[in-house]
Amino acid sequence: MGVIRKTKAVEVLLNEFSTGSVAISAKALIEQLGEMFNKTTIYRVLDKLEDDGVLHSFLGKDGLKWYAKCNGCTSKEHKDVHPHFQCLQCGKVDCLPVHVSLPEIPNRKIEISQLLIQGKCEACFV
Amino acid sequence: MGVIRKTKAVEVLLNEFSTGSVAISAKALIEQLGEMFNKTTIYRVLDKLEDDGVLHSFLGKDGLKWYAKCNGCTSKEHKDVHPHFQCLQCGKVDCLPVHVSLPEIPNRKIEISQLLIQGKCEACFV
DNA sequence: TTTGTTAATGCAACAAAGTTGCGTTATATT
DNA sequence: AATATAACGCAACTTTGTTGCATTAACAAA
Ligand SMILES: [Mn+2]
Ligand SMILES: [Mn+2]
Ligand SMILES: [Zn+2]
Ligand SMILES: [Zn+2]
């Protein structure tokens, strides 16, 4: 079940994702907001916001969990699927609003897919 | 640095990967061989075999580390890049020997990419 | 075959990310 | 204002993987 009450933690976390398509790791949010809220609260709010279709999550290069804002998703349908890009130099992760055509795989039913591209971001690419 | 001495652990672990393009998680190997070898040894041997270009590793859907045999790789060059498929029903993971064309991403330098496709495998797909 | 070097191992302790249980607090409804 | 319960904080825990160090064993040289 998703968010039911608009608490301080919900408000502050939502605000963190208010700008753009940059992803934030749960770890970074705890480092940043861990004095204001308990890490358990942060994990639980993120989880619920994902349930609501407000955020989506994925795993970065070290298996860390990252979150970013969803576009046009609801609690019933998560339709905002796209690859992610992680900069190997500065660590920044963002959503790539492009379509990826998956390869043909006979005799298998594809349900989900995750593509993580790594390299140098705009800022770090000379 | 990679494997230097052909120990029992190296021999047994190599044998686990002798057949086909099925991946095995470090976790599964420890469950399976943990009475024969210490988990530290298992982690270290896998790590070294990857250095040698004998195995490659990637992260599965829960962030677990998986290993599979490399084809035509050396310690100098890991060229066997391909997507992986994880069955959501039986958990099996295998290497997909296909090429994936990445989307165009302006102003960024792509260095690595990982594609994990999830769904139902041949055996679980009715 | 014996000896010597050191890679590899086992063990225990640790680290990091995330989860769970439970008593307390605060939101929102009546 | 009173009430119900969602959300919270805290501590303890789980899981996967790592590190330091003393001991063992692979392997080549004598
Ligand atoms: Mn995204
Ligand atoms: Mn593979
Ligand atoms: Zn960057
Ligand atoms: Zn299956």
Residue B91 burial by CB count (10 A; 0-12/13-18/19+): exposed, middle or buried?
A: middle
Find the Å distance, CA of residue A26 to C1' of nucleotide D2. Answer: 38
Chain B contact for A116, CB < 8 A?
yes
Query: A32: which 2 tokens?
Result: 């940043």
pLDDT of residue B50: 98
Task: Read off the pLDDT of residues A20-33 as tens digits, 9 standing for 90 and up.
Answer: 889 999 999 999 99
**Side chain identity, residue A68:** A
pLDDT of residue B21: 87
Instruction: Assess contact for B57 and B67: CB atoms under 8 A.
Output: yes
Nucleotide nearest to A57 (CA to C1'): C18
| Distance from chain centroid for Cα A86 | 12
Provide mean pLDDT across the span B95-113.
94
A4 vs A44: CA distance, rounded Å: 12
Task: Read off the pLDDT of residues A67-113 as tens digits, 9 standing for 90 and up.
Answer: 999 999 999 988 899 999 999 999 999 999 999 999 989 999 999 99
B23 CA distance to ligand 2 middle (Å): 7
B117 CA distance to ligand 3 middle (Å): 26
Task: Identify all chain A residues contacting B120, using CB atoms and an 8 Å cutoff.
Answer: 108-109, 111
Neighbouring C-beta atoms of residue B104, cutoff 10 Å? 8
- Mean pLDDT over each residue of chain A, to the nearest integer: 96
Q: What percent of the residues of chain A are helix, what percent strand, and what percent coil, each to the nearest 5?
A: 25, 25, 50
B21 vs B59: CA distance, rounded Å: 16
pLDDT of residue A126: 75
B26 vs B39: CA distance, rounded Å: 9
Contact B103 A120 (CB under 8 A): no
Instruction: Assess contact for B83 and A103: CB atoms under 8 A.
Output: yes
Q: Is the pLDDT of residue B126 over 80?
A: no
Q: Calculate the alpha carbon distances from B57 to A51, A74, A79 in Å.
A: 31, 35, 29
